[in-house]
Copies of this chain bind each other. A is one copy, B any other.
Amino acid sequence: MIMAYYFENILGTFIVDDKLKLINESKGKKNLSPVPKSQLPSVLQLFKDKQYFSQYYQKNLQLTRQLLKESVSDDQLIVQAIANINELDRVTNILVKRLREWYSLYNPEWEHQIDSHEQFVESVLSNTKKKPGSMGADLKKVHLDEINHLGKEIKGLFALRKKHEDYLQQVMSGYCPNLLELAGTTTGARLIELAKGLKRLALLPSSTIQLLGAEKALFRHLKSGSRSPKYGVIFQHPFIQKAKRENRGKAARMLADKLSLCSRLDYFKGEFKAKEYQKELEERLR
């Protein structure tokens, strides 16, 4: 039996004999020992052969593609969905404003009676007749139809927003159940978006989590010495909404503290403790 060593790189496993000639049997190491360290430079010389260049290139490309493919995590999907919820809010605002103006040619009385955008769209679509004494013009069907077309599209956009929320809930219940439970769907997703991923959120100090989304106010505070912000997106959380005005800063600190713990539990695959935290917070609020 001849003496032989094996050598591995991204192209596969190569076997060399004791004179460092290649016996290109890349079918396993067969209990051989690796090339001794002192011989490594001479073995690497072998790969300067041109035939390996394009092989290296191809293999590299393939690996990079694979990495790219696998780099898409639930983080990115959550970020896209919550970002689109933000866009939808902006977009429906623009279109409802137009609908209000347009529809008020026909029925100006509703414009101020119905504050909620969503309800306004519903009312326009449900085609309730305007009151007889209305100051609006008696538009023909062709004009009203056009207004209704717009209303229908806006309704579709509101429905899409709801679908996105359900979807977020579904994705987050598997990916970050603790954060979902304590922060709620949109606030939780927004925290992940602002922190650029669950990993970074888990690594942030809780005082930073408290201020995520209040960057503008924070930098204004640092630059011009105005009062420092007390909360960022977590302001939307019912725990802070319920707290008295003078306690809100404290409430925000406590909530951010627990949210930070939640994100850590989620990222490091810990237990489900969000319910306990919630109770604890509620007790302290009293």
- Quote the shortest CB–CB distance from A79 to chain B (angstroms): 9
B153 touches A149 (CB 8 A): no
How many copies of the chain does the oligomer comprise? 2
A84 touches B150 (CB 8 A): yes
- Quote the shortest CB–CB distance from A209 to chain B (angstroms): 25
Known: A76-B105, A102-B80, A153-B157. A163 touches B146 (CB 8 A): yes
Query: Is A10's CB within 8 Å of the partner chain B?
Result: no
- Quote the shortest CB–CB distance from A100 to chain B (angstroms): 11
A137 touches B72 (CB 8 A): yes
Task: Give complex CA distance A133, B64 in Å.
Answer: 12
State how many residues of chain A have any CB contact under 8 Å with chain B: 42
How would you classify the secondary structure of chain A's contact residues: helix, strand, loop or mixed?
A: helix
Query: Is A81's CB within 8 Å of the partner chain B?
Result: yes
A150 is contacted by which of B133, B138, B160 (Cβ under 8 Å)?
A: B160
B-side contacts of A163, CB under 8 Å: 146, 149
User: Which parts of A197-218 form the interface with B (CB within 8 Å)?
Assistant: none
B69 touches A137 (CB 8 A): yes
Task: Give complex CA distance A136, B156 in Å.
Answer: 29
Query: Is A65's CB within 8 Å of the partner chain B?
Result: yes
User: Which parts of A216-258 form the interface with B (CB within 8 Å)?
Assistant: none
B133 touches A65 (CB 8 A): yes
Query: Which B residue sits closest to A74, measured CB to CB?
Result: B143
Task: Give complex CA distance A87, B98 in Å.
Answer: 8
The 3 closest A-B pairs by CB, nearest first: A72-B137, A80-B102, A91-B91
